[in-house]
Amino acid sequence: MAKKRVGVLISGRGSNMAALIEAAKDKNYPAEIALVLSNRPDAGGLKTAQAEGIATGVVDHGKFGKDREAFELALQAELEKHKIEIVCLAGFMRLLTPWLVSRWPERMLNIHPALLPAFKGLDTHARALEAGVKTHGATVHFVTPELDAGPIVAQGAVAVQNGDTTDTLAARVIKIEHKLYPLALKLVAEGRVRVADGRCLIDGVPVPDAAQLVPTHLN
Ligand code: GAR
């Protein structure tokens, strides 16, 4: 089957983008990273993508002022020009309007650094520490007009340690993100993910039976 053409939208260093590029090098991976777009000309990830020979573009939101519609029209035009079939938001720090989101039903993914629906929005690691949760993590979900609220495709969890700071916790979560996003994109590109009543149902993949206790019981 032909590989799905994926466009990755970034705003910064692009480590999740790099993880997707790396995964897509496998000849059996069902998607290829065909375009990396940034809303910031100085996003570090652009150089990484160029070094990998991937087409890049900048749609600088600053140039559009408050005109979100024109900004999104420009993004959409780039995605269409490169015949993109699936969009991955990877640290893309602009809110998208329903106009753009509705053009990509079940074809636009986002990675969020928390176990949704907990800790939507920003500063997720600081808020997780403050709340005292014992398990934290990352979520890949389909994008819907409501922020961080679309159907969940996959999640990865880390245990919170006594001495964790936002930095140590972020460092463990990002490692999980780099495994989770390639996995979630693979499932979507293979057409294994169905949405029913707002939930993703995933066909033909093992789901572990074991529950994780944090902290683990000591004998
Ligand atoms: C990642 O942790 C991602 O989950 C988060 O930004 C970081 C981007 O890092 N995304 C959000 O907070 C979206 N609201 P990266 O540029 O190295 O992939």
Give the nearest ligand 1 atom to 19 CA. 18
d(C-alpha 36, C-alpha 58), whole Å: 9
- pTM exceeding the 0.95 threshold for the entire prediction: yes
Average pLDDT, the chain: 96
Is 178 close to ligand 1, i.e. is its CB under 6 Å away? no
Domain boundary among 78, 104, 130: 104
pLDDT at 219 over 80: no
159 and 211 inside one domain: yes
How many folded domains does the chain comprise? 2
Q: How many Å lie between the centroid of ligand 1 and the Cα of residue 3?
A: 25
Same domain membership, residue 179 and residue 97 = no
Q: 68 and 145, same structural domain? A: no
Q: Are residues 59 and 100 in the same domain?
A: yes
Would you name the residues annotated as active-site residues? 112
| Atom nearest to 17 CA in ligand 1 | 18
| CB 111, CB 180: distance < 8 Å | yes
Q: Check residue 111 and give its pLDDT.
A: 98
Domain holding 51, by residue range, is 1-104
Measured by CA distance, the residue closest to atom 2 of ligand 1 is 113
Measure Cα distances from 12 to 152, 182, 205 in Å: 24, 19, 32
Q: Is the CB of 61 under 6 A from ligand 1?
A: no
Shared domain for 121 and 177, answered yes or no, is: yes
Q: Which two tokens stand for residue 100?
A: 């753009």
Identify the sign of the CA torsion 102, 108, 109, 112: negative
pLDDT digits (tens, 9 = 90+) for 148-207: 999 999 999 999 999 999 999 999 999 999 999 999 999 999 999 999 999 999 988 888
* Ligand 1 binding pocket includes 112 (Cβ within 6 Å): yes
Q: What is the pLDDT of residues 54-103, one digit of tens each?
A: 999 999 999 999 999 999 999 999 999 999 999 999 999 999 999 999 99
- CATH number of 115's domain: 3.40.50.170
> Best of 9, 10, 15, 120 to mutate for ligand 1, by most ligand atoms within 8 A of CB?
15
Q: Are residues 93 and 145 in the same domain?
A: no
Give the pLDDT of residue 175: 98
Same domain, yes or no, for 93 and 23? yes
The three-state secondary structure class of 111 is: strand
Does any ligand 1 atom lie closer than 6 A to the CB of residue 47?
no
Q: Are residues 85 and 118 in the same domain?
A: no
Contacts with 56 (C-beta within 8 Å, 6 or more apart), sequence order: 35, 36, 37, 38, 46, 49, 50
Residues 216 and 149 in one domain: yes
